Chain A
Amino acid sequence: MSNWIPLWLHKLGSPPTFYRFAGALQPWAMTLALLLGAIALYGGLVLAPADYQQGDAYRIIFIHVPSAEMSMFIYAAMGVAAFIALVWRIKLAEVVAMESAPIGAAFTFITLVTGSLWGKPMWGTWWTWDARLTSELVLLFLYLGVIGLYHAFEDRRQGARAAAFLAIIGIINVPIVHFSVNWWNTLHQGSTINVFGQSKMSWDMLWPLLTMMLATKFYYAASLFRRARTDLLAMEGGKDWVRKIAADEAKP
């Protein structure tokens, strides 16, 4: 009947199957990420018209907004994986959650750096204690806390479970931080892109942005697959399937 989807997902949860699956998809995801990224950069830096007010300085949006979106998207993905890891104790979910954290932290860092580069010509300052900037900074600290907690344990699985718990606490806390900080002080502009309804942006500028968002998603997938594969090999070091892979690679 139609129970092949849960069956397939169940199979995918086993490390050897995921290792092969991720190995097959990873090059495709990386190629797509590079291709779409190049198209988006060309569209954004060359084809798109200059802004009537900000001139060419606005073009950093094609890096800033996709990475800001990814910093939150990856946190959500990490939270979902952490929840699955804690409830069903699936090893693969632990790996996915823990390997998402460094990627998310990197995107958060890029967001902060590009934001401050953009803030200098526009607001006249590298940093301001504005609501969105502050909550992004808090998000970075949450990521670093998860990574730090994961590495503080000697037993990796125990560390992954503890860090997964912290990630879930963070998910509850992120909206609270966001609203409290919003109430505190706001300078950053509102959102320009609207999924439901008209975006406040011309199509010439919008399509490179959306393409870049897609490219970052593929990059996340590729990076996650690669990291998860390495982590699985390290974790399952003594198992039979790893030994088999090692033996195959050793053959000339």
Chain B
Amino acid sequence: MNRPGLLTACTAMLRRDLTLAWRRRGDIAMPVLYALIVTMLFPFALGPEDTLLQRIAGGVVLVTVLLAMLLALDAMFSSDIEDGSLEQLVMAPQPLALMLGMKILAHWITTALPLIVIAPLLASMLHLPGAVIPVLLLALSLATPLLSLFGAVLVALTAGTRRSGMLLALMLLPLCVPAVIFAAGAVAAAQQGLPWLAPIIWLAAALVLAVVLAPLACAAALRIALDA
């Protein structure tokens, strides 16, 4: 395999997944609607006091986005397993980890990006100060790929099972505790006027590590889950 071949394969993979997602545009809207509705429930449950909502806004938006992503995570490989194209991908001469990386990227673009776009709206529904919103967006844009990468490994592990939804939540949520702590820590620090760069840098470091390791782990997990 020479280099241009690999690049062509990557773009083809990415284009295929994005086209498939675009053909089912309704599915893209679902996590966004879910996040909107969950955020809307918080003022009902806690009361419409501005100061209280302001204090919890950052954390609520983060957790809501994570849960919305979890909802969509289940479908990452399911259609490809059903029609058998994942097996073809495993047998393809291109490195599986790279191809899966492209699939994860496509999944992130179709589920997390709309959530990040809508996050300012969610945050201002809870009266998060406008000055903090850029920090929230930065934290989200580092934490969501981390979640997609972690999630992809676990989805690959459950690829051979049926009814994996709750199991996925049970496995993923403990693993993303650090991401939540650092992302929420950055937002809270920004809200109190403290320096918020350190947790963001921690997140970025974790993301760099995950970008390198998670596709490899995902490929290994998929090989385990698919061979019977």
Q: CA of A142 to CA of B174 in the docked complex: distance in angstroms?
A: 7
Q: Does A110 contact B (CB under 8 A)?
A: no
Q: What is the chain B residue whose CB lies nearest that of A173?
A: B175
Chain A hits for B164, CB < 8 A: 152
Name the one of A138, A148, A158, A162 contacting B177, with C-beta atoms under 8 angstroms: A138
Q: Does A145 contact B (CB under 8 A)?
A: yes
A4-12, A40-48, A176-184, A203-211 - the one binding chain B: A176-184
Do A149 and B167 touch (CB < 8 A)?
A: yes
Chain A hits for B178, CB < 8 A: 173, 176-177, 180-181
Q: Does B207 contact A (CB under 8 A)?
A: no
Do B173 and A165 touch (CB < 8 A)?
A: no
- Among A141, A144, A149, A183, the one with the most B-chain Cβ atoms within 10 Å of its Cβ is A149
Name the one of A152, A161, A173, A177 contacting B161, with C-beta atoms under 8 angstroms: A152
Do A180 and B154 touch (CB < 8 A)?
A: no
Q: How large is the interface on B (under 10, 10 to 19, 20 to 34, 35 or more residues)?
A: 20 to 34
Q: How many A-B pairs with Cβ below 8 Å? A: 71
Name the one of A145, A169, A180 contacting B170, with C-beta atoms under 8 angstroms: A145
Do B224 and A184 touch (CB < 8 A)?
A: no
Do B227 and A158 touch (CB < 8 A)?
A: yes
Q: Does B217 contact A (CB under 8 A)?
A: yes
Do A149 and B228 touch (CB < 8 A)?
A: no
Q: CA of A148 to CA of B221 in the docked complex: distance in angstroms?
A: 16
Contact with A along B154-180 (1 / 0, CB 8 A): 100110110110010011011101100
Do A149 and B224 touch (CB < 8 A)?
A: no
Chain A hits for B217, CB < 8 A: 165, 169
Do A162 and B224 touch (CB < 8 A)?
A: yes
Residue tally, chain A, CB below 8 Å to B: 26
Q: Does A166 contact B (CB under 8 A)?
A: yes
Q: Does B71 contact A (CB under 8 A)?
A: no
Q: Does B6 contact A (CB under 8 A)?
A: no
Do B160 and A162 touch (CB < 8 A)?
A: yes
Q: CA of A86 to CA of B206 in the docked complex: distance in angstroms?
A: 25
Chain B hits for A181, CB < 8 A: 177-178, 181
- Contact A165 to B177, CB < 8 A, known contacts A141-B170, A148-B167: no
Name the one of B160, B161, B173, B181 contacting A180, with C-beta atoms under 8 angstroms: B181
Q: Does A153 contact B (CB under 8 A)?
A: yes
- Contact A145 to B182, CB < 8 A, known contacts A152-B164, A177-B177: no
Shortest CB-to-CB span from B103 to chain A, Å, is 19
Chain B hits for A176, CB < 8 A: 178, 206
Contact with B along A157-177 (1 / 0, CB 8 A): 010011001100110010011
Name the one of A86, A153, A169 contacting B175, with C-beta atoms under 8 angstroms: A169
Q: Does A249 contact B (CB under 8 A)?
A: no
Q: CA of A158 to CA of B161 in the docked complex: distance in angstroms?
A: 10
Chain B hits for A153, CB < 8 A: 160-161
Q: Does A240 contact B (CB under 8 A)?
A: no
Do B182 and A180 touch (CB < 8 A)?
A: yes
Do A152 and B158 touch (CB < 8 A)?
A: yes
Q: CA of A161 to CA of B226 in the docked complex: distance in angstroms?
A: 11
Q: CA of A183 to CA of B177 in the docked complex: distance in angstroms?
A: 13
Q: CA of A183 to CA of B171 in the docked complex: distance in angstroms?
A: 23
Do B174 and A141 touch (CB < 8 A)?
A: yes
Q: CA of A116 to CA of B160 in the docked complex: distance in angstroms?
A: 39
Q: Does A155 contact B (CB under 8 A)?
A: yes
- Contact A165 to B157, CB < 8 A, known contacts A149-B167, A173-B175: yes
Shortest CB-to-CB span from A235 to chain B, Å, is 16
Residues of chain A having any CB pair with chain B under 8 Å: 86, 134, 138, 141-142, 144-145, 148-149, 152-153, 155, 158, 161-162, 165-166, 169-170, 173, 176-177, 180-181, 183-184
30 residue pairs from A and B, CB less than 8 Å apart: A141-B173, A142-B174, A145-B170, A145-B174, A148-B167, A148-B171, A149-B157, A149-B167, A149-B171, A152-B161, A152-B163, A152-B164, A152-B167, A155-B228, A158-B228, A161-B224, A166-B171, A169-B175, A169-B217, A170-B175, A173-B174, A176-B206, A177-B174, A177-B178, A180-B177, A180-B178, A180-B181, A180-B182, A183-B181, A184-B181
Extra 8 A-B pairs, beta carbons < 8 Å, given A149-B167, A158-B228? A86-B224, A138-B174, A141-B174, A153-B161, A162-B221, A169-B153, A180-B181, A180-B182
- What 6 pairs between A and B have smallest CB-CB spacing? A145-B171, A180-B178, A152-B161, A141-B174, A138-B174, A161-B224
